[in-house]
């Protein structure tokens, strides 16, 4: 009886030992499984990170809308070719232009116009905004050069052969020197030629150079002074008599471009300014009669 009891106790202890071994005990089986699971997890992590990176790269950038305040004489080149070209090269960036005399645009920027880039037809307005801290001075580039020319209605060239012959016209169209750079250049040139008083007495003053051009093209004025680039857009209706004499202007007609200080889209605005300095843009400007300033 005693032997039987001992046998039963021995069997129970053996069963308990086997159970402990089956549960993992201390023989390292569980540790090995855990290590394998950790290794497998580590191997899958890079795939997850790569997938996350691919997802991030695939995210589309937020669309950006830029507003460019540009001189009226730039409207045709900007709207017809330059803006569409830039937008095609930079998906997600849309560019809108507002065009007027540089003086008016200067005032609008001073009054809070939400423009990103200012493209002036003269250095005077750009310099003023830079001094006021409204344009980043370090961003300003003297990009283009233009000429001022005497124009008349096509077919009416008989009384005109040189710039000074504007004095022969009964009615004259000029930009308002108070705000229109083309008018300021005309006043300077005619003043240096001793003709300002006589010509201004029979002049109508336009609010921008496009208005002056249209007055001559429509026959409302016998003659006018505009940029060479503007005259080229109406070559079917107006004739260029002559450029202003070189010594009638102290400085060439320069078009500077600059980044508006308060722009909230400066990365996109800087891209647009870089584009304006590209070879592609230069070819367009030259097509419209501008000279790229070196």
In angstroms, how far is the first alpha carbon of the chain from the final one? 118
Contact 253, 185 (CB under 8 A): yes
The candidate with the shortest Cα–Cα distance to 256, out of 112, 132, 145, is 145
The candidate with the shortest Cα–Cα distance to 257, out of 92, 108, 147, 145, is 145
Q: How far is CA 30 from CA 16, 26, 113, 204, 278, in A?
A: 19, 8, 71, 98, 67
CA angle at 225 for the pair 220 and 228, rounded to the nearest 5°? 115
Annotated binding-site residue numbers: 73, 102, 182, 209, 227
Maximum pairwise Cα distance, the chain: 148
| Dist CA 154 CA 130 (whole Å) | 41
Q: How far is CA 152 from CA 108, 128, 136, 215, 235, in A?
A: 32, 33, 40, 10, 11
Sheet holding 203-206, edge to edge: 203-206, 172-175, 223-227, 148-153, 238-243
Contact 116, 67 (CB under 8 A): yes
Annotated binding-site residue numbers for molybdate: 73, 102, 182, 209, 227
Task: Tell me the two tokens of residue 60.
Answer: 């589309």
Contact 227, 209 (CB under 8 A): yes
| Dist CA 141 CA 139 (whole Å) | 6
């Amino acid at each position: 009886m005693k032997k039987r009891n001992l046998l039963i106790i021995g069997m129970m202890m053996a069963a308990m030992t086997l159970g402990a071994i089956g549960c993992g005990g201390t023989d390292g089986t569980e540790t090995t499984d855990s290590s394998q699971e950790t290794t497998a997890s580590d191997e899958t992590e890079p795939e997850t990170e790569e997938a996350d990176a691919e997802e991030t790269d695939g995210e589309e950038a937020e669309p950006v809308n830029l507003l460019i305040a540009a001189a009226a004489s730039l409207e045709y080149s900007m709207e017809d070719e330059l803006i569409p070209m830039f937008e095609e090269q930079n998906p997600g960036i849309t560019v809108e232009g507002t065009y007027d005399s540089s003086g008016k645009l200067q005032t609008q920027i001073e009054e809070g116009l939400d423009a990103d880039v200012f493209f002036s037809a003269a250095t005077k307005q750009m310099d003023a905004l830079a001094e006021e801290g409204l344009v980043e001075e370090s961003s300003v580039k003297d990009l283009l050069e233009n000429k001022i020319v005497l124009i008349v209605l096509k077919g009416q060239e008989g009384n005109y052969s040189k710039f000074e012959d504007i004095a022969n016209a009964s009615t004259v169209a000029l930009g308002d020197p108070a705000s229109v750079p083309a008018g300021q250049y005309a006043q300077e040139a005619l003043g240096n030629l001793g003709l300002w008083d006589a010509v201004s007495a029979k002049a109508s003053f336009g609010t921008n150079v496009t208005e002056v051009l249209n007055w001559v093209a429509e026959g409302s004025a016998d003659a006018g002074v505009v940029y060479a680039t503007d005259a080229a857009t109406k070559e079917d209706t107006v004739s260029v008599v002559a450029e202003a004499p070189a010594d009638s202007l102290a400085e060439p007609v320069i078009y500077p471009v600059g980044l508006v200080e308060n722009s909230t889209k400066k990365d996109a605005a800087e891209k647009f300014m870089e584009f304006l300095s590209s070879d592609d843009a230069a070819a367009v400007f030259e097509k419209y009669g501008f000279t790229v300033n070196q």
